[in-house]
Amino acid sequence: MSESFDAVDIIRIKRDRGTLTNEQIDWTIDAYTRGVIADEQMAALNMAILLNGMDRAEISRWTAAMIASGERMDFSSLGKPTADKHSTGGVGDKITLPLAPLVAVFGVAVPQLSGRGLGHTGGTLDKLESIPGWKASLSNAEMMDILRDPGAVICAAGSGLAPADKKLYALRDVTGTVEAIPLIASSIMSKKIAEGTGTLVLDVKCGSGAFMKDEESARELARTMVDLGKDAGVTTTALLTNMNTPLGLTAGNAIEVEESLEVLAGGGPSDVVELTVALAEEMLAGAGVRDADVAGALQDGRAMDVWRRMISAQGGDPDAALPVAKESHVVTADRDGFLTELDAMKVGVAAWRLGAGRARKEDPVQAGAGVRMHAKPGDRVSKGQPLLTLLTDTPERFGRAGEALDGAWRIEDAAPASLPPLVMDRIS
């Protein structure tokens, strides 16, 4: 067949800081999906977009073209509102696990399509797969049944949702263009809009352990995604949250499930509870549910009841023992004082090197591997006191994990005057 445009012409437009038309964008996404545009040509276009950007209309159309490459889900037959959350990825970020059942307590269905970890950021599906029997892949019919009751599902996105994104994401990952804000925003939002949720809350991480290291770029990403949601008719808000320090006291898979269960039992680290409650309140407000006693539903066991039913509905055993790493190594404080810094990126890389994460998407992960933290910034520590416990099944990994932790923390004589807020801003 005769093609409407030529890939080289499209590349030149963005190279020269021009603006692509709707027709050019539609053709580009379709032609790449069909294999008419070669990987090296799309890599050149991605780099031009990284360097020169896109305007709001271009990003919106690019996102719409990615959605149009596949199917769209429809939850209107559920008879109740739907809300979803997306995090841009961090270290110790297990928030989805307690959050989905918590929101479902209040009659809002949560179709949480999640992914696997890559590099230093953990994956929700990897965490949940440490629960014996639990399965990530569900048919659309199975997903709908679970959304009716117990009302929350956490599963892998089907291959039919935005297939163009799957191909584009793999290319961005190996060509140094992951950080392009138009491409990040359209990648995330094409899947979330195609998923069909009525309300979407974005947790946009900012800091050393996030993809967006500085507040300015995190804010730009949040604003871009909120605009894309608005353009598509999805109620969308974003919370800008701090990722200079890991969330909670664990970074791994099974150990993060364990910590999530503490939160669902009414305990757990204060930062994990704070962010879970904040995101739940945003999701419920977007779905029209106000004045819900969100914290109370964690304390009184209602969220835990939904969790147990949700895990059982996906084949998991909520009472089964979680995997435990075979080997451990304790890292201690070298002086008395106050912990003033614990670098999220360095802890995340250490957990990854211990086997909790993967370098390539086909790599296996160890369920029990990771890092336990025994202190957080602001805590007083004593010389010889455990700061971190490294966990793995393969002790030869301790060396490189230890190297990743070089300079990961700072202990000073005085406590920090104040700690930065966890939730930095709300963008709507």
Active site residues: 86, 165, 172, 187, 191
User: Are 342 and 245 within 8 A, CB to CB?
Assistant: yes
User: Are 171 and 46 within 8 A, CB to CB?
Assistant: yes
User: Are 276 and 240 within 8 A, CB to CB?
Assistant: no
d(CA 312, CA 310): 5
Beta bridge partners of 390: 329, 371
User: Are 234 and 198 within 8 A, CB to CB?
Assistant: yes
Q: How many CA atoms lie within 13 A of 253 on its CB side?
A: 29
CB-count exposure of residue 120 (10 Å: 0-12, 13-18, 19+):
buried
- Cα-Cα-Cα-Cα dihedral sign, residues 26, 32, 33, 35: positive
H/E run at residue 283: helix 270-286
Running DSSP on this structure, what letter comes out for residue 323?
P
User: Could you tell me the two tokens for 229?
Assistant: 């949601």
| One-letter amino acid of 201 | V
Least Cα distance to 60 among 177, 201, 194, 225 occurs for: 225
Contacts of 307 (CB under 8 A, 6+ apart): 97, 98, 101, 261, 264, 318
| One-letter amino acid of 393 | D
